[in-house]
Amino acid sequence: MSRSRGKGSEIYRHVMTGVSYFLPFVIAGGVFISLAFLFDAGNVGTETYGSTNPVSAWILEIGQFAFSLMLPILAGYIAYSIADRPGILPGIVVGLMAREGGSGFIGALIGGFLAGYVIYWIKKSTSKIPKTFEGTKTLIIFPIAGLLIAALGMIAVNAVVEPLNQFLTTALKNLSGTSSILLGAVIGGMLAFDMGGPVNKTAYLFSVASLTAADGSSIATIVMASAACSGMTISTSCALATTLFPKKFNDNLKEAGKAAYVMGASYIAEGAIPFVIQKPKQILPSIITGAAVAGALTAAFGITMSAPIGGIFTIPLTSNIPLYILSFVIGTLVSTFMIGFLMRNEASEQT
């Protein structure tokens, strides 16, 4: 039992390493694409929106370049987490193969592990080679043999995962009405459930995988919008509660609330962790409910999001900014007032 837990935490650590390196590319890409659209506001609603103005076209291109590196960086740094620096090259290449071969985000995840463990196996197999040949291992064996084996394995990964992506695309396209609203609520609730933990990351990675697998189809972008909107409510609602109900929080949580405002706006759920640790029975159901409401409302309004990340910088990429903000505000207020209601009998508790 402990061994399986250890293996699970190891896999989670590798995935989180890849995600931590790929997020800056996603955020920077989203910011630049947002700026491109803002510079081309006169063409809102046209097919060339974001590309007709020379400045906006250049900024849009930069953002798209950043986004295009998302999957290679994800796979490369998963492999790096497993096998150290020799894993980066084959990891990045199999990430490109996943992007071009149709296996997308899921393929890049699997490919990163494939490349990492191939290099890890080669390192163990060559550990007894004399140190005088260390340069040969670094310059020839790891990059060439490792890449060859990983690339061959990636052919099989693409062959298996690409049909799964097609199935996911079809399943998402068949979602409508109540089913898409329910999915938005479930994603929102999962994001809040453990605030950056495995359940949170599962919901986020599913949303990103949907977006990349469905190649920007409307329902996939609705799923991503639900994740993006609901994720911002988690930390923000805790912060707002400290402002509206200051007598219900001790000084430590009031200070944590200041940081939680910034974290909520930046799509970082971990801002809620200090609150849940101290008041789990009051805070956790509140943030789950509010995030689920925000996710459901976003889906009900049919709002789409083309960037695989939330936060204030990607708000211009939503299809309906006023309704997106309204969904966020309502979800945040639901959580905030639930916190205030559930903690009303603890107003005098100052610890």
The string of pLDDT tens digits covering residues 146-202 is 999 999 999 999 999 888 877 776 766 666 567 889 989 999 999 999 887 778 877
Residues 211 and 324 in one domain: yes
Please tell me which residue, 5 or 114, carries the higher pLDDT value.
114
Provide the 3-class DSSP secondary structure of residue 318.
strand
| Domain-ending residue, one of 139, 169, 199 | 169
Residues 162 and 189 in one domain: no
Residues 205 and 279 in one domain: yes
Q: What is the pLDDT of residue 351?
A: 41
- The band of 230, judged by pLDDT with boundaries at 50, 70 and 90, is very high
Residue pair 217/169 in contact by the 8 Å Cβ criterion? yes
Residues 14 and 157 in one domain: yes
Q: What is the pLDDT of residue 176?
A: 59
Residue pair 203/187 in contact by the 8 Å Cβ criterion? yes
Q: What is the pLDDT of residue 51?
A: 65
Instruction: Evaluate if residue 338 carries a pLDDT over 50.
Output: yes
- Maximum alpha-carbon separation in the chain: 71
pLDDT average, residue stretch 219-239: 91
How many CA atoms does the CB half-sphere of 270 hold within 13 Å? Answer: 5
In this structure, is residue 40 part of a structural domain? yes
| Residues of the domain holding 33 | 2-169
Residues 195 and 342 in one domain: yes
Residues 39 and 158 in one domain: yes
Q: What mean pLDDT is reported for the chain?
A: 85
Ordered DSSP codes for 230-284: HHHHHHHHHHHHHHH-GGGS-HHHHHHHHHHHHHHHTT-GGGGHHHHHH-HHHHH
Number of domains into which the chain is organized: 2
Lowest mean pLDDT among 126-140, 146-160, 260-274, 306-320: 126-140
In this structure, is residue 87 part of a structural domain? yes
Residues 339 and 292 in one domain: yes
pLDDT average, residue stretch 261-266: 91
In this structure, is residue 10 part of a structural domain? yes
Instruction: Evaluate if residue 4 carries a pLDDT over 80.
Output: no
Placement of tokens 């790929």 in the chain: 22
pLDDT average, residue stretch 261-269: 90
pLDDT in tens, 70-112: 889 999 999 999 999 999 999 999 999 998 988 888 889 999 9
In this structure, is residue 341 part of a structural domain? yes
In this structure, is residue 256 part of a structural domain? yes
Please give the Cα distance from 133 to 136 (Å, whole number): 5
Q: What is the pLDDT of residue 115?
A: 96
Q: What is the pLDDT of residue 350?
A: 45
> Which residues have CB under 8 Å from 265's CB, separation 6+?
232, 236, 311, 312
Q: What is the pLDDT of residue 347?
A: 44
Residues 126 and 189 in one domain: no
Placement of tokens 């390196």 in the chain: 21
Residues 17 and 155 in one domain: yes
pLDDT average, residue stretch 244-261: 91
In this structure, is residue 279 part of a structural domain? yes
The set of long-range contacts for 170-178, using a CB threshold of 8 Å and a minimum separation of 24, is 172/210, 172/213, 172/214, 172/217, 172/219, 172/220, 172/223, 173/214, 173/217, 173/219, 175/219, 176/219
Q: What is the pLDDT of residue 1?
A: 43
Residue pair 175/130 in contact by the 8 Å Cβ criterion? no
Tokens read off for 350: 């100052």
Q: What is the pLDDT of residue 173?
A: 63
Count Cβ atoms below 10 Å from residue 341 Cβ, excluding itself. Answer: 12
| Domain-ending residue, one of 169, 198, 227 | 169
Q: What is the pLDDT of residue 177?
A: 63
Cross-strand pairs, 318: 305
Question: How far is CA 189 from each of CA 148, 211, 349, rounded to the nearest angstrom?
Answer: 42, 19, 29
pLDDT in tens, 120-141: 999 888 877 777 777 777 788 8
In this structure, is residue 139 part of a structural domain? yes
| Domain-ending residue, one of 152, 169, 186 | 169
- The band of 313, judged by pLDDT with boundaries at 50, 70 and 90, is confident
Instruction: Evaluate if residue 329 carries a pLDDT over 90.
Output: yes
Residues 241 and 341 in one domain: yes
Residues 281 and 206 in one domain: yes
Q: Rg of the chain over CA atoms, in angstroms?
A: 22
Instruction: Report which of 192, 212, 231 is spatially closest to residue 324, judged by C-alpha positions.
Output: 231
Q: What is the pLDDT of residue 188?
A: 94
Residues 182 and 150 in one domain: no
Return the sign of the alpha-carbon dihedral for residues 74, 76, 81, 82: positive
The set of long-range contacts for 195-198, using a CB threshold of 8 Å and a minimum separation of 24, is 195/234, 195/269, 195/270, 195/272, 195/273, 195/276, 195/287, 196/268, 196/269, 196/270, 196/273, 198/12
% of the chain exceeding 70 in pLDDT: 88
In this structure, is residue 351 part of a structural domain? no
